[in-house]
Structures are given as C-alpha cells and as structure tokens.
C-alpha cells in the first residue's frame, strides 16, 4: 500500500521527530510512504483567525499536492479536522465570491482521502497492535479536534494499550480543552494559561512519565507549561511512542527516567 | 442592547481579572462542574436524545424561516384571548412601552419574573428613571440586585457568589428594599432561602403589576410558557392584576404540541432535572380569569426585535436564534469557567453570548469585536446544545466579519461593514505567513534560518509572542526540518540504490539527530 504523508507545517519546522516517527511506523507496517514536497500549511491558522481569503491559496496548494493519492495520512488531528470540516466550504465561498474557480471541487475531492494517523492505522490498516515497545507510564490527552470533530474515540487509547511495556493511566478531565486553541493562546493568554495549567496539573496527578497526545500544537503549549514549571513529565506525540521498538527507542527520552 | 455594558474593555482584559480572582474561579469551577456532570446523567437517561435534539432544531428552524407568519398568528391568538400585543423594534421602544403601561396603572412598583429579555433592554434602569421600582423575585436575581451587581450566568445569575458573600449582601441590603434580613443570619442555604422568601412574600402580596419574559410562545393558541424552579414566578404570574410580558420574537413556536420536545430538553439541559418544578402557562385572559378568578385582569405582550431580524438575515449566524437559553453551553465551556460571566460584557455570557451579542449589537465596539475570539473552538458547547447550534461555526463566521468586514443587515438595511480597528498588524502577519507558506522554496529557507537561530532562542519573546512566553517555554527548535531529513534520506536511498547496482558496499542512510530535550543538557533554568 502507498500513502502520502501530510506532515503539517508545525511538524515540518518544529517537530520533525513526529514526521520521522510516522515514516518509520508506516514503513514497518508495510506501507510505502511518499512525501509530496509541494505540501505546506493547511491554512488552519489563517482560517481560524478569520482570514478565510488568506487560507484559500493554501487550500488549493494542499489539495493539489495530494491530488494523486488514495490515502493521505497526517499526525495532526486539528489539521485533519480543518480539511474535513472546512475545505469544501472555503472552496465554495471562494467561488461564490468570484475567486478560485474549481476550488470547491478540488477541495471536496481531498476530504474523503485524508486520515488522521490513528484512523489510518485502525480503520485502513486494521491494526491496533503496531508492534511497539515503550516501557513507561503514559497518560493520554485527546485533543478537542480529535475528540469532537473527528470522533477518534477509542482509537488512540487502544493503540497505546497494545504497546508492550506501556502502562496507560487515565487523565482526569481528559475531555476538557487544554487551552491552546491556535491564536487563542496569544489573543487570550491569561485564560489559555489557566486552562493549560489545570490540564498539566491533572497530568502530573496521574504520576505518569509521559503526557501523550496526537496534536503537536496542543503538546507545544502543554510541554511549554510543564517545562516552565519544571514538572516531572514530558509531552510526547503518539507517533513517537507507536514508532518506538526495543531496538530503536524514542531518542532523547531515556534520560527522563 | 442596554447601555449598561457599553464601554466594556475587550474580552481578554476583562477575563484577566477574573482569572486572577481565586475565589471567583473556585466558585465557578465548583458550580459548573457539578451541573455539567448532572446534565450528562440526565441526558443519558433519554434514549432518543439525539432525535429530540434534531426535532428541536427542526421546529426552531422552521419557525424562523416563517417568522413573519407565526408572529402574526400569535398576535391574533393573543388578542382573541383578551391580551394586547405591542411591537418593539429596539430596547428604547420596549422600555417606553412597558414604562407607559406601568404608569397607566398608577403603580410605582412592579415585581419581576426572571427574564433575559428585560435584562437585555435594561428595563429595570429605565423603570427606575421613571420613578418605578422593579423588584427581582428570582433568588439569584435578588442576590444580584441587592448586591448592586450584574448577572454572570443565564440560569444562575449569581453563580459567581458563594454562600458567605450572599449572607453579607442580604444582611447589608435587604432592609433598604423592604423586610430586613433576620438578625444573626447564617450562611446555610436553607436559612438564606428563608430570608429571601420572607423578604419577597410581602412584595408578591402587595404588587399590582408584574413583568415577565417567556420561554416559549405558541402561535396557534397564544399561550405563553415560563419554566422556573422556585415558584416565585408563578406568584408573579398569578397574583398581580396586570401582567406585562416582554419576549424576544424568536421565542415563538407554531403549535402546542411542539412544546413536548422542549419540555424534555430544556430542564435536562439547564438544571439537569427530568422536569422543572414550575411550568406556568397562560393564554391571554380566559373565562376563569379576570378580577374574580386566578390570574391578571390585564395582559400585555411586548414583542421585542432589538437586532433579531437583522440576525435572522444572516445565513450562518441566524442559528443563534434557535437558542432556548438553557445555559448548558456555559456550564461546559472551559473559557467561561475561567473568565466568568462578566467578562463577556453582556447579559448573554459564555459561548452563546459570544455569538449572540456581536450579532444583536454589531461588531463595532471593542468588546463585541473580541467576543468571537473568546473561544478555543473546542466544540464542547456544540456537543451539549439541545438545539444543535454550531457555535464554533458561527464564531468562525463572526471572526471573518471582524477582520475582513463584509455585508451585514443593520436595522433592516443591507450594508457593508469595514474590518474592525486594530487588525492591521495581524492582517499583515497573516498575509506574510500565507506568502511564505505558499512558496515551498521560501518556506525551506525560512526553516533553515530558524534552525540556525535555534541557539539564540530567547526565553522571552517581544511583541505578541510575549503572551506565549509569559507562562510557557518555547518549543526546542530542531536542527533540521522534516523536509530536509526527507530530502537527505531520499538522496541516500538513491545513492545506495546506485551503489548496490555497482557493488555490495553498505552505506548507512543519512541520519538526522533529533533535538535533545532541554533537561538532558542540564540547561533548565
Ligand atoms: S446555545 Fe444551546 S446550549 Fe447554549 S444556552 Fe442556547 S440552547 Fe442552551
């Protein structure tokens, strides 16, 4: 099977480890991974801040970059949600306002082919045990877009539960937003920090070594708070845990425990 | 809406104070978490909740699509039942109508049933200006009124107060309005409720005029419905001689049967009860009413527009008019929980306030331009809304309006509004980001620059970035982007393939060392 990786702009520039983990994981599971170089940002920061027109060229770029692929996999719930819930509407609005002919059909064509990583693993590949090994205690934060917009449900936690050596601890108030919210973190910094601090306090209370999530934007916010506080746990993307094996553990993580 | 909230600071500033108020945060946290858990249980009891939700949405959408027709039908039904219908285009007109109606009775006092519509128009202040005292009779509203405070929640207006604070307000203020609080009043909820009851009873018995709102109005029969849980509402609705109800035009439903849906969804969503304790319905002045029977001998219905028709003209935003004011969205909203109701600068706080106020009032003021951003778009509000208002969708729509301007309807006239002030720098940044992101060559160069600057990473950022570094560390920057890692790997793969053709020499693919966590370098400050 062949799949294209939509790594997303945040992962590309700041969290390449997540993209590398996805490649390793998928290749281990027998998937041939392509990385179309024309890809960029999905346009979520622009769109969510109210700049719909600024998002239009990015919608076009993303839809065109992945035009030939049956499966497009992304390790970001919020970017998958952006494409699934908003691309068609943005395309239609652009056409209605006399810009971007053909954008609606192009965007709409991409929507059913985009999979968040855990959806791809569980629904398309049909695996929950990906053969990973990670001998640590982990608590999982289901980010809002994964939880509510995509409805990932049990998928991430079932994948984690099947990892050898891993002990999953329930996160109190797991379904509450972490307070990142894209530009919300900058536009409403006080409320954002208050929400993030409550979330990290819950994570610390589990006694886990790792706060796992499937969205590096939320994790950047939470890990930033954890590090500022000198808290005894670190945020780690789900893909890195699923990619870890006895031979190739998560790099740079051993020092924590 | 009322002038009370004009000149409010932007949401982020208003929220800042609330976030720092530990007592307020604890009060809100306790109250919202208790009610949200109870709501979830009450809703889970109904197997057909999703269908009830869809039905409620459908009834409201249908009514809104034919609002003109149903309002005329309502007017006819209310008139036929002996009531008088008044139409108010805005807050001033509604206040004028109610004031004149009260003055015509010769009374100087009215008792009030808790009502969002009269708060929205600032009726109490308008009556006071005309020399009429308006007494709130809902316990929480009474607390707010006696405390010279503003409501901070749709259903529990005094949610921001704890028992001790309420005791203090009662002890200090009740005497000035009527029967004083008993000596040595404690902060036991039952004691507090009893004090309020005694204080209010004399008002109920004396009042000749009552003012209410309504949760629903039935076009077919002219019936008005009020849901409440204390019984004070029923006292006001039945004891006084004159009843004046001020109701938003979106509260109409076509038939009496439609109430069947909301009788199930509203109490469960708002108070987490299977049924609310008092459901009072009245239909104009029936044969049993009038001077000899129960109920008022004069009934006036003031139908309030105040921005609703303009909201209805907006295809995306109009769904806010489906709202049945259950307040479920407030109780699950993590932003409301930290920011408190006052930060929203309106009688409609929380998620519904964030989409309703900027539509009813326009996005012109600072507070209204920041309300659509008072959300992380987490979607919890949409999930619980019993009439399925897609609040995140409307927030995004209003954000567009704030930064890009566009067509809106104001007082029935289609106009184009300009972007709200103060977004020039942000717009420039968004454009610059878009241009960078739309040119992979430039993007790659940018990423390399970022990687090279990683050693310079400051602990505090200037400008808007400061908001991030005030409470969080910046992420560690990697040495290479994913793009570069991939390109190297591809290259190594190609070389390896080439060499394998030539001979069996083994070559390791290029490896990019991921950045090490800060603690490993012992660099944690
Ligand atoms: S928006 Fe929905 S959840 Fe919020 S108060 Fe209105 S009806 Fe209730």
Q: B298 φ, ψ to 5°?
A: -140, 135
How far apart CA A47 and CA B343 sit, in angstroms, is 25
CA nearest neighbour of A111 among A64, A63, A149, A54? A63
CA nearest neighbour of B209 among B175, B243, B181? B243
How far apart CA B355 and CA B352 sit, in angstroms, is 5
The answer on pLDDT for B3 being more than 70 is no
Distances from the Cα of B59 to the Cα of B3, B65, B163, B250, angstroms: 33, 10, 40, 12
Q: Which residues of A touch B399 (CB under 8 A)?
A: 48-50
The answer on pLDDT for B223 being more than 60 is yes
Q: Which of residues 124-153 of B touch A (CB under 8 A)?
A: none
pLDDT for res B457:
66
By Cβ distance, the residue of B399, B431, B465 closest to A50 is: B399
According to DSSP, residue B454 is labeled G
The answer on pLDDT for B273 being more than 60 is yes
How far apart CA A213 and CA B58 sit, in angstroms, is 37
pLDDT for res B292:
56
The answer on pLDDT for B4 being more than 50 is no
Instruction: For chain A, list residues with pLDDT below 70.
Output: 252-257
By Cβ distance, the residue of A16, A46, A58 closest to B481 is: A16
Weakest mean pLDDT among A235-249, B390-404, B470-484: B470-484
Global ipTM: 0.95
How far apart CA B211 and CA B135 sit, in angstroms, is 10
* A188 to B373: CB separation less than 8 angstroms, yes or no: yes
pLDDT for res B442:
75
* B403 to A51: CB separation less than 8 angstroms, yes or no: yes
Alpha helices (runs of H) in B387-439, residue ranges in sequence order: 391-404, 424-437
Q: The pTM is what?
A: 0.92
Percentage of residues of chain B with pLDDT beyond 70: 91
Q: Strand order in A2-5's β-sheet?
A: A32-34, A2-5, A72-74, A114-116
Q: B458 φ, ψ to 5°?
A: -80, 160
Spell out which residues line ligand 1, taking CB within 6 angstroms.
Answer: B 269, 323-329, 352, 384-387, 389
Highest mean pLDDT among A180-184, B1-5, B245-249, B283-287: B245-249
pLDDT for res B519:
42
Q: B395 vs chain A: nearest CA distance in angstroms?
A: 9
Torsion of CA B47, B50, B55, B60, to 10 degrees: 130
Q: Which atom of ligand 1 is nearest to the CA of B330?
A: 4
B464 touching chain A per CB within 8 A: yes
According to DSSP, residue B27 is labeled H
Q: Which residues of B touch A150 (CB under 8 A)?
A: none
Element (DSSP H or E) covering residue B497: helix B482-502
Two tokens at B367?
């507070």
* B519 to A19: CB separation less than 8 angstroms, yes or no: no
Alpha helices (runs of H) in A29-142, residue ranges in sequence order: 44-49, 52-65, 77-96, 103-110, 117-119
Closest-CA residue of chain A to B378: A144
Please report which confidence band the pLDDT of residue B494 belongs to, taking 50, 70 and 90 as the band edges: confident
B403 touching chain A per CB within 8 A: yes
Two tokens at A54?
């600024």
pLDDT for res A220:
96
How far apart CA B187 and CA B166 sit, in angstroms, is 8
The answer on pLDDT for B522 being more than 60 is no
Two tokens at A133?
């090994």
Average pLDDT of chain B? 89
Residue of B33, B39, B377, B403 to mutate, testing the A interface (most A Cβ within 10 Å of its Cβ): B377
CA nearest neighbour of B258 among B304, B285, B220? B220
Higher pLDDT, B290 or B226: B226
Residue nearest ligand 1's atom 2 by CA = B385
pLDDT for res B500:
73
Residue nearest ligand 1's atom 3 by CA = B385
The answer on pLDDT for B499 being more than 90 is no
Task: Burial-class residue B17 by CB neighbours within 10 Å (0-12, 13-18, 19+).
Answer: middle
Cα-only R_g, chain B = 29
pLDDT for res A254:
57
Two tokens at B349?
């706080």
Dihedral angle sign, alpha carbons of residues B514, B517, B521, B524: positive
Task: Burial-class residue B478 by CB neighbours within 10 Å (0-12, 13-18, 19+).
Answer: buried
Residue nearest ligand 1's atom 8 by CA = B326
């Amino acid at each position: 099977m062949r799949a294209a990786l939509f790594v997303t702009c945040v992962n590309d520039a700041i969290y390449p480890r997540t993209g590398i983990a996805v490649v390793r994981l998928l290749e281990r599971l027998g998937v041939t991974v392509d990385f179309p170089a024309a890809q960029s940002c999905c346009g979520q920061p622009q769109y969510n801040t109210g700049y719909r027109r600024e998002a239009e060229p990015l919608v076009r770029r993303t839809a065109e970059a992945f035009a030939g692929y049956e499966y497009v996999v992304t390790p970001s719930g919020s970017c998958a949600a952006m494409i699934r819930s908003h691309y068609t509407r943005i395309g239609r609005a652009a056409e209605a306002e006399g810009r971007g002919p053909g954008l609606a059909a192009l965007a709409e064509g991409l929507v059913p082919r985009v999979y968040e990583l855990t959806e791809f693993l569980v629904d398309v590949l049909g695996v929950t045990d990906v053969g990973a090994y990670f001998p640590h205690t982990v608590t999982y934060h289901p980010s809002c877009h994964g939880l509510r917009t995509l409805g990932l449900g049990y998928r991430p936690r079932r994948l984690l539960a099947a990892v050898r050596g891993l002990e999953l601890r329930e996160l109190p108030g797991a379904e509450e937003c972490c307070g990142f919210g894209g530009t919300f973190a900058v536009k409403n910094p006080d409320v954002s920090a208050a929400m993030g601090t409550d979330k990290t306090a819950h994570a610390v209370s589990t006694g886990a070594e790792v706060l796992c999530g499937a969205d590096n934007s939320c994790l950047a916010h939470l890990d930033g708070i954890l590090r500022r506080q000198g808290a005894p746990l670190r945020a780690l993307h789900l893909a890195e845990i699923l990619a870890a094996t006895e031979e190739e553990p998560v790099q740079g993580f051993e020092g924590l425990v | 809406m009322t002038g009370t909230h004009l000149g409010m600071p932007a949401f982020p500033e208003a929220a800042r104070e609330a976030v720092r108020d530990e007592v307020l945060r604890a009060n809100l946290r306790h109250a919202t978490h208790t009610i949200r858990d109870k709501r979830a249980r009450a809703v889970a009891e109904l197997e057909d909740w999703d269908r009830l939700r869809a039905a409620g949405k459908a009834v409201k959408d249908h009514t809104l699509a034919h609002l003109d027709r149903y309002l005329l039908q309502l007017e006819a039904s209310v008139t036929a039942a002996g009531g008088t219908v008044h139409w108010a285009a805005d807050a001033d007109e509604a206040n004028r109508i109610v004031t004149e109606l009260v003055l015509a009775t010769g009374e100087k006092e009215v008792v009030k049933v808790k009502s969002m519509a009269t708060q929205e128009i600032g009726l109490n202040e308008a009556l006071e200006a005309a020399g009429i005292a308006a007494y709130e009779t809902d316990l929480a509203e009474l607390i707010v009124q006696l405390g010279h405070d503003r409501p901070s929640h749709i259903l529990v207006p005094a949610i921001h107060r704890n028992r001790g604070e309420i005791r203090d307000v009662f002890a200090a203020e009740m005497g000035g309005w009527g029967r004083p609080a008993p000596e040595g009043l404690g902060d036991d909820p039952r004691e507090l409720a009893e004090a309020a009851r005694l204080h209010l009873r004399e008002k109920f018995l004396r009042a000749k005029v009552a003012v209410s709102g309504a949760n629903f109005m039935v076009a077919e029969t002219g019936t008005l419905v009020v849901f409440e849980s204390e019984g004070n509402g029923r006292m006001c609705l039945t004891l006084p001689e004159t009843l004046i109800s001020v109701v938003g035009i979106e509260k109409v439903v076509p038939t009496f049967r439609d109430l069947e849906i909301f009788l199930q969804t509203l109490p469960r969503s708002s108070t987490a009860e299977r049924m609310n304790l008092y459901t009072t319905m009245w239909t104009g002045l029936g044969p049993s009413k009038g001077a000899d029977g129960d109920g008022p001998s004069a009934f006036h219905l003031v139908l309030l527009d105040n921005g609703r028709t303009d909201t209805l003209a907006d295809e995306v935003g109009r769904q806010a008019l489906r709202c049945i004011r259950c307040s479920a969205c407030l109780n699950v909203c993590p932003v409301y929980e930290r920011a408190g109701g006052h930060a929203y600068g309106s009688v409609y706080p929380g998620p519904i306030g964030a989409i309703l106020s900027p539509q009813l009032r326009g996005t012109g003021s600072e507070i209204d331009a920041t309300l659509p951003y008072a959300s992380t778009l987490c979607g919890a509000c949409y999930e619980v809304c019993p009439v399925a208002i897609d609040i995140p969708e409307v927030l995004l729509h209003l954000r567009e309006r704030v930064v890009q301007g566009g067509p809106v309807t104001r007082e029935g006239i289609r106009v184009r509004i300009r972007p709200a002030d103060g977004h020039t720098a942000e717009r420039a940044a968004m454009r610059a980001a878009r241009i960078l992101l739309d040119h992979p060559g430039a993007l790659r160069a940018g990423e390399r620059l970022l990687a090279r600057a990683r050693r310079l990473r400051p602990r505090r950022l200037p400008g808007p970035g400061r908001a991030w570094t005030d409470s969080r560390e910046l992420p560690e920057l990697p040495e290479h982007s994913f793009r570069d890692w991939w390109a190297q790997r591809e290259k190594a793969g190609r070389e390896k393939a080439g060499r394998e053709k030539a001979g069996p020499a083994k070559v390791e693919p290029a490896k990019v060392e991921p950045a090490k966590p800060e603690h490993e370098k012992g660099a944690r400050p």
